[in-house]
């Protein structure tokens, strides 16, 4: 782009009103390299622009990279269902079809509509009910949520590699905050099945919880919560008494047995208050010992939900209301947690362990 156009673009972004956590009431269309994108600018300065695409994707780029852009609308509008359907089919090629529900568009191998689409929608409704009855005011996403079910692991790995997704060993699926999509694969398909239908179903539950939380106001895609908050909630919903409370109504049904077993076997014997504090202040444990981190995140979340639900709701609101696209340093994470749950870590740990020993 020429110098005059760059100055015009940068000046237009900088002279616009500051952006908050919600999409502003206007959209632009621009070119980034060989791609044309349209969406709502969320936050910007002389160096970076954050933009919400009409398909739900988050874009981040320098104003210097943008070319040929113009204002297109005074309000944000997602692509229509038919437009998104056509985009998905064009992206995936033959062998796939797209099934729509009230809140979802699910791309899946042909002939598997009944196996996938309704499951995503049911989980969305269960999530909405779970938080609504607890006093949360959830909002509907401004665009259909997208789930992509790859035909087998090979296609899953190829898709993730092309889009910098998480497809390492043992990864069965993922939710991407950037693309706002769930991507997984049918573990029972292909010449060499790698798992059972139960494994696929559990992956849907976990990742759909992430996606729904980030699109209904429980979490913010523009101000990410601590990892223990996001993963603690997703592991909480893995229990049938949480994701399907209509038919599993006892407290024992709300216990994630696998995470509890991990906690009692790997974490409980050497537990100390410093572990709790470290989990709250940093995401490091998820990198160095994921099994311990997930078990501890589930244990703390389950304890707070069951014993201090109002405080937990307050804490979720705090993490979701942070300023967009800013770091969340350890001191701020600690201050937010202690403002709600107090600073007596030894007492908190004692109550946590006593509660879990009793379940």
Residues 6 or more apart in contact with residue 92 via CB below 8 angstroms: 107, 148
Classify residue 297: in a domain, yes or no.
yes
> Quick one: 345 and 238 in the same domain?
yes
**In the prediction, which pLDDT does 113 show?**
76
Residue 172 DSSP class: -
Tell me, what CATH number does 160's domain have?
A: 3.40.30.160
The pLDDT of residue 75 is above 90: yes
> Quick one: 143 and 195 in the same domain?
yes
> Quick one: 137 and 193 in the same domain?
yes
Of 162, 197, 216, the residue that ends a domain is 216
pLDDT (average), residues 165-175: 77
Domain residues for 175?
Answer: 81-216
What is the sign of the dihedral through the CA atoms of 323, 326, 327 and 332? negative
Of 216, 245, 272, the residue that ends a domain is 216
Least confident range of 9-18, 183-192, 289-298, 336-345: 9-18
Classify residue 338: in a domain, yes or no.
yes
Q: What does pTM read for this prediction?
A: 0.91
Classify residue 276: in a domain, yes or no.
yes
> Quick one: 85 and 67 in the same domain?
no
Tell me, what CATH number does 27's domain have?
A: 2.30.30
> Quick one: 49 and 166 in the same domain?
no
The pLDDT of residue 6 is above 80: no
- Counted domains in the chain: 3
pLDDT (average), residues 315-332: 96
Classify residue 221: in a domain, yes or no.
no
Residue 266 DSSP class: I
> Quick one: 66 and 85 in the same domain?
no
pLDDT in tens, 245-273: 777 778 889 999 999 999 999 999 999 99
Q: Model confidence at 7, in pLDDT bands (50, 70, 90)? A: very low
Beta bridge partners of 182: 147, 175
Classify residue 315: in a domain, yes or no.
yes
> Quick one: 87 and 210 in the same domain?
yes
The residue length of the chain stands at 359
Distances from the Cα of 92 to the Cα of 69, 96, 156, angstroms: 28, 7, 11
**In the prediction, which pLDDT does 79 show?**
97
What is the sign of the dihedral through the CA atoms of 211, 213, 219 and 222? positive
pLDDT in tens, 99-158: 999 999 999 999 887 778 888 999 999 999 999 888 888 999 999 999 999 988 888 988
> Quick one: 242 and 306 in the same domain?
yes
> Quick one: 151 and 54 in the same domain?
no
Q: Model confidence at 203, in pLDDT bands (50, 70, 90)? A: confident
> Quick one: 60 and 39 in the same domain?
yes
> Quick one: 336 and 239 in the same domain?
yes
pLDDT in tens, 10-55: 444 444 433 334 556 799 999 999 999 999 999 988 899 999 999 9
Classify residue 173: in a domain, yes or no.
yes
Of 191, 216, 241, the residue that ends a domain is 216
Classify residue 222: in a domain, yes or no.
no
CA 116 to the chain's CA centroid: 19
CA 52 to the chain's CA centroid: 15
As a whole number of Å, the end-to-end CA separation of the chain is 63
Judged by DSSP in three states, 243 sits in helix
Q: Where are the beta strands (DSSP E) in 201-280?
A: none
Classify residue 131: in a domain, yes or no.
yes
Least confident range of 159-168, 176-185, 267-276: 159-168
**Cα 232 to Cα 225: distance, rounded to the nearest angstrom:** 11
**Cα 183 to Cα 158: distance, rounded to the nearest angstrom:** 12
Q: Which of 46, 73, 77 is nearest to 61 (CA)?
A: 46
> Quick one: 153 and 200 in the same domain?
yes
**Cα 302 to Cα 260: distance, rounded to the nearest angstrom:** 10
**In the prediction, which pLDDT does 1 show?**
41
């Amino acid at each position: 782009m020429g110098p005059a156009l760059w100055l015009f673009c940068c000046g237009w972004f900088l002279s616009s009103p500051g952006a908050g956590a919600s999409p502003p009431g206007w959209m632009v269309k621009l070119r980034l390299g060989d791609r044309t994108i349209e969406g709502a600018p969320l936050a910007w300065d002389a160096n970076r622009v954050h933009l919400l695409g009409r398909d739900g994707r988050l874009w981040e780029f320098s104003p210097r990279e943008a070319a040929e852009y113009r204002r297109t609308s005074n309000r944000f509008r997602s692509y229509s269902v038919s437009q998104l359907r056509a985009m998905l089919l064009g992206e995936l090629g033959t062998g796939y079809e797209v099934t729509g529900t009230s809140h979802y568009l699910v791309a899946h191998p042909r002939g598997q509509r009944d196996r996938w689409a309704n499951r995503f929608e049911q989980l969305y409704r269960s999530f909405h009910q779970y938080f609504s009855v607890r006093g949360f005011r959830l909002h509907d996403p401004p665009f259909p949520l997208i789930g992509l079910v790859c035909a087998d692991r090979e296609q899953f790995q190829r898709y993730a590699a092309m889009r910098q997704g998480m497809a390492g060993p043992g990864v069965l699926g993922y939710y991407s905050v950037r693309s706002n999509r769930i991507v997984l694969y049918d573990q029972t398909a292909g010449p060499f099945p790698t798992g059972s239908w139960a494994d696929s179903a559990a992956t849907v539950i976990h990742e759909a919880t992430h996606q729904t939380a980030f699109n209904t106001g429980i979490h913010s895609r523009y101000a990410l919560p601590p990892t223990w908050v996001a993963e603690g909630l997703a592991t909480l919903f893995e229990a049938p008494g949480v994701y399907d409370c209509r038919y599993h109504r006892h407290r024992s049904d709300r216990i994630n047995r696998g995470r509890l077993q991990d906690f009692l076997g790997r974490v409980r014997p050497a537990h100390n208050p410093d572990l709790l504090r470290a989990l709250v202040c940093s995401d490091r444990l998820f990198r160095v010992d994921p099994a311990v981190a997930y078990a501890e995140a589930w244990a703390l979340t389950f304890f707070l939900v069951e014993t201090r639900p109002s405080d937990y709701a307050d804490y979720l609101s705090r993490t979701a209301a942070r300023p967009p696209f800013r770091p969340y340093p350890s001191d701020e994470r600690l201050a937010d947690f202690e403002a709600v749950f107090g600073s007596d870590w030894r007492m908190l740990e004692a109550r946590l362990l006593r509660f879990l020993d009793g379940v």
